[in-house]
Amino acid sequence: MTSAECEVQNTDSALFPALQNIRERIAAACQRAGRDVTEVKLVAVSKTVSAEIVREAVAAGVTVLGENRVQEAEGKMTQLADLRSQVEWHLIGHLQSNKARKAASLFDVVQSVDSEDLAVRLNRVADELGKRLPVFIEVNLAGETSKAGAPTKESFALIAQVSKLPALELRGLMTVPPYLDDPEDVRPFFRQLRLLRDEAVQNGIADRSFTQLSMGMSHDFEVAIEEGATLVRIGTALFGARTYTL
Ligand SMILES: *Cc1c(COP(=O)(O)O)cnc(C)c1O
C-alpha cells in the first residue's frame, strides 16, 4: 500500500467536510492536468484559526500547516505540542531578519525567503541549531509593492546564492500572485513561476532537488495545479472566512 492510500484511509472526513471537498477538487484538477494526485500537497493555512480548530483539521487528515507569523505560530505549536510528530509547520508569511533564529528553530519549512540577507541569516542560525532547513524562494512576479517576495529579475541570482548555503535545502519557488476575480487571469503568473523553476534547473543554477512550486490559494488553486503546483496553500476554503486579517 502506498502512503497516499494510507492517508486517505486515515482521513475522517466527517469531522471536516470542507477538507473532503478540497481533496476532491484537487483530485479533479490533477486529472484535468494529467497529473498524479500524490504530486500535490495541501498546506492548510491556519493563520487566525484557533488551536482547537486546527486540532480538528489534523484529526481529519491535514498533515501540513501554514502560518504567517512566527509569534502566532509559536503559541499554537505550544498548544498542539502533542501533535508535533504528525504535522509539518511551514512559515508562509514575510520573515523579518530579527526573527530568523526563532523561525528556524520552530518551523519545518520556510517558504518565504526573499533576500540574500535573510537567507544568510537563516543559514547561520540553522547551522548553529545543527539542522538543515528546507526553504523556498518567494518571488513577487507582478512587482506589487504591497507584497513580499524577491523581484523576478533578481530571482536567478537569489536561487544561485541560496543553493550554495549548506544549512539550507532549497526546494523550490513560492509566489502570491495578484488577486484577480477570474482565476483564469492568474494563470500566466503560475505559468511564469513554473518556467522560472524549469529555466533555473536547465541552466544549472539550481540542482535537481529544486523541484517544488508553492502556488495557488482558495480562490485559484485549481488553475495553479493545472500549471504545476506541488503545494497549494488553502485557508478560507478550509476554515471559512477569517474574521480579522494579518
Ligand atoms: C493567507 C494566505 C494563504 C491562504 O489564503 P486563502 O485565500 O485564505 O486560501 C496562502 N498563502 C499565503 C502566503 C497567505 O498569506
C-alpha cell at 142: 507582478
Per the rule left: phi > 0, alpha: psi between -120 and 50, beta: everything else, 240 is left
User: Which tens digit of pLDDT belongs to each residue from 17-32?
Assistant: 999 999 999 999 999 9
pLDDT of 2 reads 42
Contact 217, 233 (CB under 8 A): yes
Burial (0-12, 13-18, 19+ Cβ within 10 Å), 166: exposed
pTM over 0.85: yes
- Scored b (16 or more CB within 10 A) or e, 177-207 reads beeeeebeebbebbebbbebbeebbeeebbe
Instruction: Kindly indicate the confidence band of residue 208, based on its pLDDT and cuts at 50, 70 and 90.
Output: confident
Does residue 93's CB lie within 6 angstroms of at least one atom of ligand 1? yes
pLDDT at 12 over 60: no
**Residue identifier of the C-alpha nearest atom 10 of ligand 1:** 233
d(CA 116, CA 14): 45
User: Which tens digit of pLDDT belongs to each residue from 230-244?
Assistant: 999 999 999 999 876
Does residue 47's CB lie within 6 angstroms of at least one atom of ligand 1? yes
Contact 190, 229 (CB under 8 A): yes
Query: In ligand 1, which atom is closest to the CA atom of 239?
Result: 8
